[in-house]
Structure 1
Amino acid sequence: MDASSGPQYRSAHVDTFVQDRLPHVSRQPDLLLDLSSLRYPPRLNCARELLDGGSDDPDRAGRPAVLSPHGVRWTYAELTAVVARIAQVLTQDMGLVPGNRVLLRDTNTPMLAAIWLAVVQAGGVVVATMPLLRAKELAYVIDKARITHALCETGLREELEAAGDGVLTLMDFDGLEHAMATKAEEFTAVDTAAEDPCLVAFTSGTTGMPKATVHSHRDVLSICDSFPPHILRATREDRFIGSPSLAFTYGLGGLLLFPLRIGASTVLLDRAGPRQLARAIEEFGATICFSGPTAYRAMCLDTQDHDLSSLRECVSAGEALPFVTRKMWKRHTDLDLIDGLGSTEMLHIFIAMRGEEAWTRPGAIGRPVPGYITAVLDADGNPLPYGEVGALAVKGPTGCRYLDDERQLEYVRNGWNLTGDACWADNEGYLYYHSRMDDMIVSAGYNISPVEVESTLMTHPAVRECAVVAAPDDGRGAVVQAHVVLTEGHLPTAELVAELQKFTKTEMAPYKYPRLIAFCEELPRADTGKVQRYRLRGAGHNSSGTVVMTATPEPEGAIGGPAPE
């Protein structure tokens, strides 16, 4: 890639691998910086900003910053000192220079948070990975991002060593803590440019090989200064908690970047299943929770009743939020969920719906977060009228920049970021989620939203969770197939199949009902928690094994028309 494709600024990076492999400027999205709060100086180190907080927060040093169930209670001053010592280990002992890529491997722990900040403060580029990844998957990340250094929780070292094949400057956490003991508690942050990359985040790879998305220091502060103040309305008195991994941008923003930017505290859980999350909310008196629809529903169904009364705001993202889950959470906690739509490419949430708005607009996912704009486009890139389903396009202070990947041409067109979501908009600008573009079901000429079918099925008492996909069909091209996990006490029988089919026909247009139903013990999920629908498409079973699958016989004349009543 020629030099003209690189950013036009004075970079602090000595190692320019990432800049050299950014998309040509003509292939990058338009950036909107209309809000004054999103305009930053040309020299900016986001880690320094997140730790310091500025002169308007004089008592910040003594307030709690990072907590964990294992006894860590770091104040901002203590966190800053830990970060400084780690940064010195990186630069003095491991030879890090600005622009080097540092792979991180751990569960959500205070040490992982401190290392993330230290790498960025030292001018490095963070590449965080899930602890569940195996050597083959890690090898892909290492090769794609040309990883130069790695810091790894000691118990997770074996897979990383197998993947790195000796090319990494690797230190485990035991070695890191030993090296930190001799370091000073002060470190001068590298004078990075606002546009210098500081993060390479890999997508979850639910539809193919993961893509490496590049984000800058300015991008990090942009998401902190858009969603939290305008939608979340958090203050420094809040205590954040949640389930997503810091290796994913949803968790990174909600559980580290946002609380630090505000001067609040965060609780990091190395185990964050629904029951552990509910227990920790009670233990720590958490006030703001970031999680996904599945976890919120599971906490409602949990027979162990934890005290969640400290919560005041809860954010749901990662998958479409069924209206039935919203209602369950409201009954369980008397709280309204904030629904959010985001992507790794955009770094965080760019469309949101505060809970109190949702009851008057069932099915809406919200409007653009201040700083962003959206459009619904047809296949030729033209805006569609209100009410018509098309491709969701977005512009804002962040945008997609893939690392050396021709798929940039698919995501960014004419300055717009095309998220891969199919939506429609009403005349007040509220957006309604239809499906992922590649999940849309076209059956006998009808466009059917799998999200709508899933939401309807989940209102039946026998259904704990479900995923709806297209199954090939000679007559209709495709039919709706539902993979259903049953609630306790319900058996997978042909009679229940018929009951669920009849139920869906009475609750929505009959042509949308699932002609195929498969019962399974669990749904296949990526490390993010998202359902891997590609593993279900056209299949009669998933990895958990189907117990029952049947189809309603088609009456004469049904092909090409609505399903029978």
Structure 2
Amino acid sequence: MYAWIARSEDEFLRQTSKFACCMRGRLKLGDFLLQDQLNFHFVGCAGEGTGHGPNESAEGNIFRTDKERRCLMNKSEVDQRIAERVHEMLDVFGSPDADVARLLCDRYPEKKTAFRIVPKAGATVSLSYGRLKERSVRLASGLTKLGLKPGDRIGTLMSKSEDYLVTLMAIWRLGAVYVPLFTAFAPPAIEMRLASSGAKLIVSDCAQRSKLEDLADALPGLRVAGSDYRPHGDLSLGDIEASGEPGGSAHVGGGDWPIIEVYTSGTTGKPKGVVVPLRGIAAFQAYAEFGLGLLPDDIFWNAADPGWAYGLYCGIIASLSVGVTSVIHGDKFTPEGTVDVLVRERVTNFTAAPTVYRSLRAHGIAEGQISLRCASSGGEPLTPDVNLWAPKALGTVVHDHYGQTEAGMLVNNHHHPALKRPITPGSMGHALPGWYMTVIDPDTHEPLEPGMPGILAADLTRSPLHWFQGYVAASEMNSERLSSDGRWYLTGDVAKYDDDGSFRFSSRSDDLIIMAGYRIGPFDVESVLSTHPAVREVAIVATPDAIRGEVIEAVVVLAQGFTPSDALSEELKQKVRADYGAHAYPRRVHYRDNLPKTPSGKIQRFVIRGELRSLKVPS
């Protein structure tokens, strides 16, 4: 177990003499380097009583023996050291001489493995930091020869491959701004993002090229480069790389330089552009260390697609920020394929959307087949049914995490041992260090007391990791996220917090149900229904009612082996009455084969509401 961060063993002993008095002789400086450039190390506690199995709880303490607890530094000292660590990250990524290529690639040993690339077919390929640097240097040089320059927008429509990773690093080495595009997008979604960002180049796989056929007239300044083909009229990624020079320095833009222009998932409306500055990487590294609990000897896999914020921020960038070996899988998601990768690559730290875990549960995993050190979930609230299954199937419970495209991760059930607490069903956890989260009144923006539902918000005067400055070419939408006085970042989600400071998600503000005076969050009811064996997925929405204002309706995707019936509908209603509250049971239950979702996997309740109100979903 890894409890503390220090620059050297001597400094550790010198600065923490009270702690060292009982631990001297039992401390062992880890062989694993957290940040080679910054000379930070994790310090392990070796000796009797320090083993920690995957299903055991650390109960919020860094140490577990009585002797260790008696000598534990007080909480304020721990909080101070964590705050110092956050500012150390900000100093590095916010520095005027910061450059992405050095911080995410060039500072690591050349032979160290950056990624294990698992293709659709064939053996796993290892990509070292040395090869990533060599290829991206040439490609950046070749892009410069094409006339591309710092600040230009460059998009990709590429599978998760070595070429994708090299292209991404070359874009940043050039000083250009990366525009991520999800490969499942249809042409209109691609065109909207390329047009809005003003992209000068898009790199496309052959399998995606047909989606770009009609863009020439709409986007006359856009050039196309083929990553794995040489069609007439297109540039070739291989030729661009081959034309580049082997030397050259990376662009130095400093902490405010833009590195990504990503678009929100459109859960409730039109996607909006978000520019991420280089200093935003500090927030992603803080999540890697505190939220995911990444250790340098981990084999890490974020199964989210890097065409979306969670896969890009907290997969590709987070792993590069701390230098762990990360897995990327080039094939589409299947439960059997995911299990195969977890086992074959010996993944120790895994994160994915709740849908992935529910699919794995439905598929079935033999006990002992997988043993993860850490498992995390993001993108949608984690329903309690997952952790009834996970300990035996995965070797650990799944920690629910919460974040947004405009911020990165904000609230987590943290894996870092100094912040780890027992998992409470329905809790998103506590604020990520570097963010001050609370719940405020939606009208007055005054902070609310524990247990009172309101808008989850970050106090920007106390949140140094904050980086979002507003939407691209949509300043009229900024009030959705930034209060007029500049104090609050508004998530738009309804939540409440407990006396211990842990947060509970209720709903997006526009998903909140108000029925007969009761304020009901869909997730609360969905969490109850998801534990029924017949329910694979469920969405709770409201439809208009002349008497109550709104009434609750449930749309259910059934698990294999179950069929719709009046008896089952009544059973589901009764479960909510018994396990949550008689006021909140669904008045009607609908069954369908799937739920409408964004390409990133978030349930689109507004689509379901529209369908129900138009009577398009039969009961």
Could you say whether these structures have the same fold, taking a TM-score greater than 0.5 normalized by the shorter chain as the test?
yes
CA 1:534–1:107 in 2, change beyond 3 Å: closer, same or farther?
farther
Specify which of 75, 87, 106 is matched with residue 35 of structure 1.
87
Q: Is the 8 A contact 2:511 2:541 kept in 1?
A: yes
Residue identity matched to 1:160: L
Q: Is the 8 A contact 2:402 2:411 kept in 1?
A: yes
Q: Is the 8 A contact 2:373 2:395 kept in 1?
A: no
Corresponding residue for 1:11? none
Corresponding residue for 2:590? 518
Deviation of 1:519 (Å): 0.4
Corresponding residue for 2:194? 142
Deviation of 1:47 (Å): 2.7
Specify which of 407, 412, 435 is matched with residue 372 of structure 1.
435
- Per-residue displacement from partner, 1:180-222 (whole Å, max 9, x unpaired)? 23434444101212101111110011211100001111112x1
CA 1:359–1:518 in 2, change beyond 3 Å: closer, same or farther?
farther
Specify which of 400, 404, 411 is matched with residue 473 of structure 2.
404
Corresponding residue for 2:401? 340
Deviation of 1:305 (Å): 4.2
Q: Is the 8 A contact 2:399 2:423 kept in 1?
A: no
Q: Is the 8 A contact 2:263 2:273 kept in 1?
A: yes
Q: 127-136 vs 352-361, which deviates more?
A: 352-361
Corresponding residue for 1:244? 304
Q: Is the 8 A contact 1:289 1:314 kept in 2?
A: yes
Aligned: 1:118 with 2:199? no
Deviation of 1:167 (Å): 2.4
Deviation of 1:384 (Å): 1.0
Residue identity matched to 2:383: P
Specify which of 314, 329, 332 is matched with residue 254 of structure 1.
314
Aligned: 1:330 with 2:391? yes
Specify which of 332, 341, 348 is matched with residue 280 of structure 1.
341
Corresponding residue for 1:24? none
Deviation of 1:275 (Å): 2.7
CA 1:542–1:64 in 2, change beyond 3 Å: closer, same or farther?
farther
Corresponding residue for 2:273? 212
Aligned: 1:437 with 2:509? yes
Corresponding residue for 1:497? 569
Residue identity matched to 2:327: V
Specify which of 290, 295, 305 is matched with residue 235 of structure 1.
295
Q: Is the 8 A contact 1:44 1:193 kept in 2?
A: yes
Corresponding residue for 1:68? 117
Distance 2:367 2:164 in 1: 28
Q: Is the 8 A contact 2:277 2:467 kept in 1?
A: no
Corresponding residue for 2:328? 268
Deviation of 1:137 (Å): 1.6
Deviation of 1:307 (Å): 6.4
Q: Is the 8 A contact 2:368 2:392 kept in 1?
A: no
Corresponding residue for 1:468? 540
- Per-residue displacement from partner, 1:3-23 (whole Å, max 9, x unpaired)? xxxxxxxxxxxxxxxxxxxxx
TM-score (norm 2): 0.78
TM alignment of 1:373-388, pairs within 5 A? 373-378=436-441, 379-388=443-452
Distance 2:422 2:614 in 1: 35
Deviation of 1:540 (Å): 3.3
Distance 2:368 2:598 in 1: 30
Q: Is the 8 A contact 1:242 1:272 kept in 2?
A: no
State the SS of the aligned residue for 2:265.
coil
CA 1:541–1:177 in 2, change beyond 3 Å: closer, same or farther?
farther
- Per-residue displacement from partner, 1:93-152 (whole Å, max 9, x unpaired)? x21111101111123222212211110110101101011222222221122111111111
TM alignment of 1:17-166, pairs within 5 A? 35-40=87-92, 41-53=95-107, 60-70=109-119, 71-92=124-145, 94-165=146-217, 166=220
Specify which of 286, 289, 301 is matched with residue 226 of structure 1.
286
- Per-residue displacement from partner, 1:42-67 (whole Å, max 9, x unpaired)? 121123210023xxx5xx21121122
Distance 1:520 1:360 in 2: 32
Specify which of 159, 167, 170 is matched with residue 224 of structure 2.
170
CA 1:294–1:358 in 2, change beyond 3 Å: closer, same or farther?
farther
CA 1:188–1:123 in 2, change beyond 3 Å: closer, same or farther?
same
State the SS of the aligned residue for 1:96.
coil
Deviation of 1:535 (Å): 0.9
State the SS of the aligned residue for 1:286.
coil
Deviation of 1:541 (Å): 9.0
Corresponding residue for 2:372? 311
Residue identity matched to 1:49: L
State the SS of the aligned residue for 1:537.
helix
State the SS of the aligned residue for 1:61.
coil
Q: 312-321 vs 267-276, which deviates more?
A: 267-276
Specify which of 354, 357, 360 is matched with residue 293 of structure 1.
354
Residue identity matched to 2:211: E
Distance 2:131 2:88 in 1: 32
Distance 1:492 1:362 in 2: 28
Distance 1:192 1:354 in 2: 32
Q: Is the 8 A contact 1:535 1:542 kept in 2?
A: no
Q: Is the 8 A contact 1:125 1:197 kept in 2?
A: yes
CA 1:361–1:305 in 2, change beyond 3 Å: closer, same or farther?
closer
Q: 247-256 vs 222-231, which deviates more?
A: 222-231
Question: Sequence identity, in percent?
Answer: 28
State the SS of the aligned residue for 1:256.
helix
Deviation of 1:273 (Å): 3.2
Distance 2:452 2:563 in 1: 40
CA-atom RMSD, angstroms? Answer: 2.2
TM-score (norm 1): 0.86
Q: Is the 8 A contact 1:337 1:354 kept in 2?
A: no
Residue identity matched to 1:403: V
Q: Is the 8 A contact 1:297 1:329 kept in 2?
A: no
Q: Is the 8 A contact 2:378 2:400 kept in 1?
A: yes
- Per-residue displacement from partner, 1:367-424 (whole Å, max 9, x unpaired)? 1111111121111111111111001111331333211211012210133210111111
Residue identity matched to 1:326: N
Distance 1:496 1:336 in 2: 30
| Unaligned runs of at least 5 residues, structure 2 | 1-83, 229-235
Q: Is the 8 A contact 2:535 2:559 kept in 1?
A: yes
Q: Is the 8 A contact 1:67 1:110 kept in 2?
A: no
Q: Tell me the number of residue pairs that the alignment of Structure 1 and Structure 2 aligns.
A: 508
Q: Is the 8 A contact 1:480 1:513 kept in 2?
A: yes
- Per-residue displacement from partner, 1:307-326 (whole Å, max 9, x unpaired)? 65352111100001112212
Corresponding residue for 1:449? 521
Distance 2:480 2:215 in 1: 30
Distance 2:206 2:613 in 1: 38
Aligned: 1:390 with 2:454? yes
